[in-house]
Amino acid sequence: MGVVLDLPRNATCVAYDHPDSGFHQRIPDSRTGGVPSRVELVKIPQDALRALMKSSPLVKSSIDATIRQRQEGTRQQTQRFAIDPASQRQRTPRFDELGLVQGQQLMLIDLDRCTRCGACVDACVAAHDDGNTRLYLDGPRYENYLVPLTCRKCLDPVCMIGCPVGAINRGNSGEIQVRDWCIGCRLCADQCPYGSIQMNHLSVPVEPDEQQWRLLGPDVEVKAVISRAVVCDMCSSLPGGPSCVYSCPHEAAIRVDSKGFFFDSVEISGGTGSLESVS
């Protein structure tokens, strides 16, 4: 809609797909030989949709409400960028170079506030059963912020391209998630331009179980999975947002929409610790 109406882009990529070879066979990736993940798109012809809306007032009202909601969102966004003097700030080459524009939930550490206590990393470790952190307090600086190595929930997540087993995709809140059938090929980790995906060594390599061996047959050569990709899931299973932000006592760790934050002073998450925020 943004492209058609020449309005700011507010959509985000939820999945990547690749053209089908025409023989119900996905085209294997040239580097890994793996078959890309499958994305299904439901295409509803305009006439059919109109007929459906005509026959069902419920569907019509639901679609109308969605249209109104999206138009309002776009209108607000356009207005905000047009009148707020902060939006006049120019994007610097450094902003582009660091790929900050990609960050829908960019993590920033305000270095003027941070006492380097490491509570954010401890919280990240505690939030995950495997005991591995998804947050590394290392990375480039932008203004007075550290941009640590952790997932920024890119608008255009190139890490999702070409996973041979379709183990990386977006969760319900748009967070990137690596599923437990990851084979540890490290393609996603190599493709992430910001070093946000880590490969974690498995203490016990994963081998096919008896049933899988039977299915595979005796002649198949199988490699054990010795590592798995690990990426920040924004603690989507926990209430209250990412643990790193929730556990920072100094209000130094924040998760922001980069464009809104740097050009419009809009923050997505990052508690203020005010009395109201507790309720």
Q: At 226, is the secondary structure helix, strand, or coil? A: strand
Residue 195 interacting with another protein (CB under 8 A) = no
Task: Show Cβ contacts of residue 202 under 8 Å, excluding neighbours closer than 6 positions.
Answer: 184, 225, 226, 227, 228
> Residue 245 — φ and ψ, nearest 5°?
-75, -45
The verdict on 249 binding another protein (CB under 8 A) reads yes
113 or 201: CB nearest another protein: 113
The interface region with another protein, picked from 42-50, 177-185, 194-202, 244-252 by CB under 8 A, is 244-252
Question: Could you give the count of Cα atoms lying within 13 Å of 93 in the half-sphere of its Cβ?
Answer: 0
Provide, rounded to whole angstroms, the least separation between the CB of residue 161 and another protein. 23
Query: 34 and 188 in contact (C-beta within 8 Å)?
Result: no
Half-sphere exposure of 247 (CA within 13 A, CB side): 17
Residues within window 100-159 making contact with another protein, judged by CB under 8 A: 111-117, 119, 122-123, 126-127, 137-138, 141, 144
Which of 95, 142, 246, 261 contacts another protein by CB under 8 A? 246
Closer CB to another protein, residue 46 or residue 272?
272
Q: Does 3 bind another protein (CB under 8 A)?
A: no
CB of 256 to another protein, least distance (A): 16
* 236 vs 124: CA distance, rounded Å: 12
Question: Closest distance between another protein and the C-beta of residue 89, in Å?
Answer: 21
Residue 196 is a binding residue for another protein (CB under 8 A): no
For residue 182, give every residue at least 6 positions away whose Cβ sits within 8 Å of its Cβ, in sequence order, or none.
165, 167, 168, 225, 228, 229
Q: How far is the C-alpha of 155 from the C-alpha of 142, rounded, in Å?
A: 20
Interface with another protein (CB under 8 A)? 111-117, 119, 122-123, 126-127, 137-138, 141, 144, 238-240, 243, 246-252, 271-278
